[in-house]
Chain A
Amino acid sequence: MSVANVFQIVKCPITCHSFNKNRSEVAICPNTNEIHIYKNKGGKWELDSVLKEHDKLITSIDWAPETDRIVSCSQDRNAYVWKRVGNGWEPTLVILRINRAATVVKWSPQENKFAVGTGAKNVAVCYYDERNNWWRSIHINKLRSTVLSLDWHPDNLHLAVGTADSKVRVFSTISDEAITSNKKIKSADTLISENKVGGWVHGVAFSPSGNVVAYIGHDSSLSFLYRDTSEVVTVKSKDLPYLSLLFTDERHVITIGYDCCPILFEETSPKNWKNMGKLDQGEKKEEVVSNAFNKFRQMDTRGQENNDDSSLPTTHQNTINDIRMYAGTRDNVTSFTTSGLDGKIVVWEFDLATALSKLKI
């Protein structure tokens, strides 16, 4: 496991990030109401364009790789789809019809629709209405609390939703035929399953095959729901709670969160998940040779008694809040990126065999 590149892009927290298809551009939100797009110029990231349309903090950005469109949502209760026009970007407003913040947004695998989680206790599933040339939404209303996370099933139809009332639910949404047929869609909220967790559900993800839903609770737990038997396997961890997760293949999951470090989980035998350890071991800080000597040296050089080096041994210096695939395929991730409150975007090389052998030592 090695860190490939660390980019200190901004000096403030990054609330979310998303790369384009060939990874030459990245869209981030530097904890404001603007989206910054950075371009890779010879290994350096330079600010290319600033997208201003939202009034309040942007909560989530998702860049559709194939159709090259960005969708963003914000606490100002709006979502925009950004299309590339010439050198710039042009927004299209999405009719969300909500009275609370939009919290999370994600394109479906086919990129013909996207889902917006909201604080108004619903999920808006949005699809393009060609006749009127805008994005229309239909609500999933069977929720009782703010949506914190969601993920699409690879079949482009089912949606997993994690909420602040400690529940994770799976819905089936609008079929593609319904969108193309141009008929009025009446409802999209068929509840498939509902499971309880011991806290807010910060992250949810389908496995590459779509047969397993993994989700994270604020009680430092990681749970797996199996489609065939509706069985739930929960791993309660010793660490601080996780915030997001990524399946690197059917049997491996990487979680990130308040511990400032990615953690690997493996399905060692069917339906038996195990915490394999931290992928960022970090370098041990230099041992203090002589306390008295150091103390006087500190007092001499800095005029203070305590060593104020508060940096962490991990690559990220603060909570990590976003993890995304960078290279490889959905069922064989070879590289992933993380961004966090320290303003860094880190690209991690991930080779399963080396990672596991290092962790076993």
Chain B
Amino acid sequence: MNTALVAALLLVLLGFAYQMGWSRSRSLVTGGSKLHSRPSYHGSLAAIWALLPALLILGLWALLGTTATRAYIIAQLPPEIASLTGADLAGAIARIRQIETGFGVLGETAPWENAAAQALREFRLLTYAVVLAAAAGTGALGLFMARRRITARLRARNEVEGVVRVLLIGCSVVAILTTVGIVASLLSEAIRFFTFVSPVDFFFGTVWNPRFSSVGSGSGDYGLLPLLWGTLMVATIAMIVALPIGLMTAIYLSQYAPPKVRSTVKPIVEVLAGIPTIVYGFFALVTVGPFLAAIGNTLGIDIRATSALTAGVVMGIMIIPFISSLSDDVIRQVPRAMRDGSLGLGATQSETIKRVILPAALPGIVGAFLLAVSRAIGETMIVVLAAGNSPYLRLNPGEPVSTVTVTIVNQLTGDTDFASPQSLVAFALGLTLFAMTLVLNVVALYIVRRYREQYE
């Protein structure tokens, strides 16, 4: 169906209906009655009435059209072809569709095929016209009804606002449904994975070695623990870097910095959050990794250039603005009266910060911290490039590690067969990651919400 044409038709209908509702209600005003709603609401209501039935018809066709067309094609086929099943029938139908579009097909076309294609062409043209006419007709009918309803007392504003409310609810439902859908797909694929590998082996296994199917010899080991360990180690190192620096930046910006310095420094710090993570990745790979390795060399410690330490430090730098910006906001939300009260009792500025401001802001800071942790756990590009991709349980942060996110990337890049555990494991890993960040976010939200009540 020609989408542009349909869209144009709908737009014309919309504009016309609005104009009609508007002018009709205006004429009531000049007729001397006092309108309940302003003319623009009457216009909007008429437009809604005209558009909704038309959209409903089009939506129905979009839902049922394919099935109806398929049924029609089958009805055109000779009985011996129509009685075929599965791939053969689908192939025949596809051939006829191809012929109908005029792109041509492989091999000679049989006369019955040409006939069916011709019939299909007519059928499509007919249904196209019928659907369009039906849409336009119901639209016009809706418009007519709407026009008849227009009186001075019609509560058009209330009705339009009701429709808008439904629309808003619908939009928020989309977000919820998307989440539900993602979880459902993760779950179903993960369950398929668990038919190959038992959950106990997955969650408590200490060896990660998924041999690719081409190598043969069984399906390999899928132990989550080395990956989880790597993830937690990198995230912990990142937080060790980011928390003190970010928090102290926030304290300086909110309590000590003159307004001029603050208004310059804060945006600059926030630029850090806008740098693409892949850039951080090669910054880690090219600069920080060799630098840390050199330091290790001088100190006599063996630090590899790509290691948990490298990835963690760079990730920590990336997270600084999260902590500093969120904490800065939270600290500034502590009422000035608290600060004055403490200063008025003879506390110094640092005593005031330590004993009054930070405790009051603590829940918010914890919330910021947890959000930053969930960000660190889900971070991918930095660890792909800088962590060394080595899925073994190692205590030494100077050694390479692998994380959950890196492993998902590895399992899903290149040739993938979505029926094998090698690929399906990515969904189980994704589910694990999702559960972790979800719990962190829920806890963070809960803490932040409790904090909000405190000063109301």
Partners in one complex: no
Query: Which residues of B pack against A, CB within 8 Å?
Result: none
